[in-house]
Structure 1
């Protein structure tokens, strides 16, 4: 049998933390590797326990979830963790900062258990977990804070078609929507997305969206 996905649960509210842990431990393919109530402990425990996924609250004492995420999954981290942020507000500016810090996605705390479990499994497979429409609203709201690098699209190591796909990703299009817009198959879209991430050294679609805004490809 495949080993269960090991999850570290980090939330300063003990009732929330216990609830999350109970839901996770009830699944045959998931298990709770540990629990903690602040970001500093989360970083320490993640380094020691090496969980497959870290479920991270944002507002915590000692070290908040944003800084903890940056230490666990940010640029330059040798073995970046896969962090799934949970928050009270779906357009909270702290969520945006957490995504820039390296989180693979986010969920609301009032999301149904099935969505939480799907989120953990999705992030574990290396995919990002953000609804396209929420991505568009979230990054669009804070796009003004992202400074364009000054480079142009001609400077990017992408083909014209890959650049087109990247712009659509940044606009919040799903794979099926991109396929419809460009009149290509979803499998072809997946291939383009994989090439874009590889060429730009990005981990997932979340980073691709932020990258596109930083390059001034989307306004």
Structure 2
């Protein structure tokens, strides 16, 4: 009986370990509290929403760095994107009027991604994920190393994927329970005519250290 009990215990421990590893693998890129700048609570913009934007944006950038996106080569200099409170303030002002962004999901003035969605009671975090996913879906169907950033419908994707862009601030506004307005403002404009990133093994062209396949020059990121 003792041997049987020990066997059951070992099986239980093994099952828990497998489940833990599976959860780790499925959770994607890790964003810790120290990665998210403390901007205070600004309406819907609280820590969990800011973290969601960083997780979604950096997960995309890491997938490009690793070369797991079809048609896109690995990126040697893709930077970790940090959160910026001043850019968030700009984004909050942009969404505050509740005027719908006419084209739904779009880019504006080369450094701003915006979106409007009908209110469905989905919650702010789901809306943040949806906005980033739709900007990502604007990517070109094919890409090669000779191509450059161009002024076209793919601009929302270029803003997310441009290697040198490493700061962002966002806002989600609930507008009278009729629709959501979303905006993310990036520190740098998409440089039309320039390379999206440098092709090569992830983190081989970094000024700082490597963090989850992304170049990071800050000291606040946990290892």
TM-score normalised by the shorter chain: which range applies?
Answer: under 0.3
How high is the TM-score relative to the length of structure 1? 0.24
TM value normalised by structure 2: 0.24
Larger radius of gyration: 2
More helix by share: 1
Quick one: higher RCO (CA 8 Å, sep 6+), 1 or 2? 2
